[in-house]
Amino acid sequence: MSKPKVLVFAVADTTGTSHKKLEAAGYEVLLGKPEWMIPGTNREEEVRGIVRDVVAMCGTSMRSNPVSRRIMESAQRLRIVAKYTVGVDDVDVDGATDLGILVTHAPTEANCFGVAETTMALLLGKLKDVRERDRAIREGRWREESMRNIYLGRREADGFPGITLGIVGLGRIGSRLAEMLAPWRLGKLIGYDPYVDDEKFIRHGVTRVKDIKTLLNQSDVVTLHCNLTKETRHMLNADALKQMKPNAILINCARGRVMDELAVAAAIANGTIAGACIDAFADEPLAPDSPLRKLGDKVLLSPHGASHTVGGGLGPGIEWATRSVITALDGGVPDNVYNKDVIERWQGRFGGAKVLAA
């Protein structure tokens, strides 16, 4: 009798440790193909053919060939799609919920705090001209007049108003960033998140604004830390960018498609905003002909590695996902379910029922 199958659709565990855990639990592990992750490809039919006998799916991001509703419909025994990452934008979560399938994610501390720290590094690197100062020294230039940068803090006695920093999304990453910024005594720290209660804003020293337009109008720095959803896709489009100050900086360490890349590049080129720091892009790796590459020091680019830390990165997320798969296949509900609306119905179908007979 064949073993139940678990598909790792986007492989990230180079050690194979998580695969061995699944095998030790009694499952056959199928590994997705590297070409499934190549931008601009369409492998949906191939994946549909492989998942027919699969009881669980897990993996890192696979945005070029997302886990679509059609793929999940082809897997009649599928109980769970477990992501190694925080984001689930490459899974049709609404489709999974309709089909009674759990989707789990991995907002691990190492991942979230790593992103907050990288955001801080990008903020300082851009506003304090770290890259430009280093280059000037190497080129034999010294303390030029142009090397005067922004003072971040607030010193009212000396006439320094500080800056206003706007956080879009006060989840784990956004709130951690607020904690890190607290000792800096910025001019003002504001935030927008319709899914978070007032208490969290107060606890993290962030002034709540009523809408995204208000945040864009007031902020000298806008930093994005929201999930990619139907509501947030291209939230920062051409019209939204026009609401920002001409001296403002945009930081995106969330998901590439939260902003319209072409609109952002155009806004920087024509002076609508001053610049950007970007770690996440619509298609990755960033295309050689991307207009973002042609903006010089007005942009600071990072290869979607904001969460990468020594001993962190995807490692903890892989552990979470593996644990979640085993829990769900044993008939239990994991503690990191993203589409919580499906839990009651899922329990009615699978609660307490093990895939593997005792």
Residues annotated as catalytic are 255, 284, 304
CA 250/CA 236 separation, integer angstroms: 10
CA 107/CA 116 separation, integer angstroms: 13
Which of 152, 110, 103, 112 has the alpha carbon at shortest distance from 128? 152
Residue 91 and residue 67 in contact, taking contact as beta carbons nearer than 8 Å:
yes
CA 208/CA 193 separation, integer angstroms: 8
CA 117/CA 106 separation, integer angstroms: 18
Give Cα separations from 76 to 53, 55, 79, 190, 339 (angstroms): 7, 8, 9, 46, 19
Residue 29 and residue 19 in contact, taking contact as beta carbons nearer than 8 Å:
yes
HSE of 246, CA atoms in CB hemisphere, 13 A: 4
**Contact partners, residue 270, CB within 8 Å, separation at least 6:** none
